[in-house]
């Protein structure tokens, strides 16, 4: 099933829906960076997913490039990873259709993210939003991915991809060898669920209408300072991680620990007598310092569209070869007419 290398394969992606935030970075992209050396890594910008909710056609292509530039700015090395745009490889849509026909509707009706997002959309829910997890399954299964590093919120979608591959394709159609590889999620112990700045019990999300609920990777120091100043706090003194009544304190400590590289327990000791005002200042400084190198690398790349397009072209070439091979295998095993036979 594999290409030229014996390395295990990774596939993941982010939607180009507006600015990426620190949840996307700490929950997913930083894990890709940590894994890229030891794995054969495919990273897509999932623009077909980005049109499952209302979007602006004037922004889609710009956001796609900006998302790819952020992958590199966060530390993804395009020399060892294939970075590509999902809509450029038609095998994604084609496998999605085949999987659509194999997946029972009642499996889809259980998807939590669809339920949550469709509430936000009111009367405007598209079939595409319902189908989102099957397109995601196609993304993963096309690459025979061993691992899929994602945040906690994608666990259910990963389980669906596994179930479709195992129960609906392999169990029904395989003759000798399994047709599809069963992927495993990689969800980090720390950072896999970064919470909103306005409500420590709600996930930080791109679709939250309140900009102040998240820190975007490209926020200026002034905006970061303003957002953290306004972030929800509580009336306790000192920072704590395990007090269930203090989700905001827990969330900011987690983020601070990830950014500073210090253990949560060490920070709890250090900050046990520190009030919110002082903590927010230290926290803001850390955030600005951690995002600065990403923002600098981003500026260089986004101002060099030639280089960026070259990265995406090379990524596409490598990804497409793998994707087309898997699609042919699936179509052949599922009984489609083949010209060469
Ligand atoms: P997206 O763009 O919504 O999220 C991209 C990645 O960021 C993670 N994430 C978070 N992690 C921690 N805390 C948060 N608050 C937070 N918010 C988002 C997500 O878990 C995700 O890993 N459906 C995928 C996109 C996708 C995909 C794929 C992923 C499409 N096809 C194939 C992997 C493999 C998503 O959630 O995008």
pLDDT tens, N- to C-terminus, the chain (341 residues): 445 578 999 999 999 987 899 999 999 999 999 999 999 999 999 999 999 999 999 999 999 999 999 999 999 999 999 999 999 999 999 999 999 999 999 999 999 999 988 888 877 899 999 999 999 999 999 999 999 999 999 999 999 999 999 999 999 999 989 999 999 999 999 999 999 999 999 999 998 999 999 999 999 999 999 999 999 999 999 999 999 999 999 999 999 999 999 999 999 999 999 999 999 999 999 999 999 999 999 999 999 999 999 999 999 999 999 999 999 999 999 999 998 75
Q: Which conformational region is residue 141 in: left (phi greater than 0), alpha (psi within -120 to 50 degrees), or beta?
A: alpha
Of 3.40.50.1220, 1.10.240.10, 1.10.10.10, 1.10.580.10, the CATH number of 211-299 is 1.10.240.10
**Ligand 1 centroid vs 79 CA: distance in angstroms?**
23
Ligand 1 proximity of 136 Cβ (cutoff 6 Å)? yes
Domain with CATH 3.40.50.620 in the chain: 8-193+305-333
**Which long-range contacts link 112-118 to residues 24+ away (Cβ below 8 Å)?**
112/156, 113/153, 113/156, 113/157, 117/53, 117/207
The tokens describing 282, both together, are 């230290």
pTM for this structure?
Answer: 0.96
CA trace torsion 251, 70, 136, 309 (10° rounding): 180
13 Cα–ligand 1 center, Å? 7
| Of residues 57, 178, 52, the one with CA closest to residue 124 | 52
The residues of the chain that CATH labels 1.10.240.10 are: 211-299
- Domain 8-193+305-333, CATH number (from 3.40.50.150, 3.50.50.60, 3.40.50.300, 3.40.50.620): 3.40.50.620
154 lines ligand 1 (CB under 6 A): yes
Which residues are designated catalytic?
117, 203, 206
Pocket lining: 204 vs ligand 1, CB cutoff 6 Å: yes
Which residue's alpha carbon is at the smallest distance from atom 14 of ligand 1?
A: 23
Q: How far is the CA of 290 from the centre of ligand 1 (A)?
A: 21
CA distance 71 to 62: 15
């Amino acid at each position: 099933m594999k290409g030229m290398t014996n390395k295990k394969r990774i596939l993941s992606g982010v939607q180009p829906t507006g600015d990426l935030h620190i949840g996307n970075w700490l929950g997913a992209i930083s894990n890709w960076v940590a894994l890229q050396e030891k794995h054969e890594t495919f990273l897509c910008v999932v623009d077909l997913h980005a049109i499952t909710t209302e979007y602006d056609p004037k922004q889609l292509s710009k956001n796609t490039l900006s998302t790819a530039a952020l992958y590199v700015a966060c530390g993804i090395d395009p020399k060892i990873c294939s970075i590509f745009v999902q809509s450029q490889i038609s095998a994604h849509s084609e496998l999605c259709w085949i999987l659509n026909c194999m997946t029972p509707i009642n499996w889809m009706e259980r998807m939590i993210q669809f339920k949550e997002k469709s509430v936000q959309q009111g009367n405007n829910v598209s079939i595409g939003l319902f189908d989102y997890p099957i397109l995601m399954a196609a993304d993963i299964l096309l690459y025979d991915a061993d691992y899929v590093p994602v945040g906690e919120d994608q666990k259910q979608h990963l389980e669906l991809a596994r179930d479709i591959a195992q129960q609906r394709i392999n169990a029904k159609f395989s003759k000798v060898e399994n047709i599809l590889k069963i992927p495993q999620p990689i969800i980090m112990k720390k950072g896999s669920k970064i919470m909103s700045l306005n409500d420590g019990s709600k996930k930080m999300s791109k679709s939250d209408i309140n900009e102040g609920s998240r820190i975007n990777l490209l926020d200026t120091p002034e905006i970061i300072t303003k957002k953290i100043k306004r972030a929800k706090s509580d009336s306790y003194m000192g920072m704590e991680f395990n007090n269930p009544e203090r989700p905001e304190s827990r969330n900011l400590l987690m983020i601070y620990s990830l950014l500073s590289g210090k253990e949560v327990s060490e920070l709890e000791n250090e900050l046990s007598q520190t009030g919110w005002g002082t903590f927010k200042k230290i926290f803001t400084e850390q955030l600005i310092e951690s995002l600065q190198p990403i923002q600098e690398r981003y500026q260089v790349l986004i101002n060099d569209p030639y280089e960026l397009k070259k990265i995406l072209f090379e990524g596409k070439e490598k990804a497409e070869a793998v994707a087309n091979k898997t699609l042919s295998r699936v179509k052949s095993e599922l009984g489609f007419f083949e010209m060469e036979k």
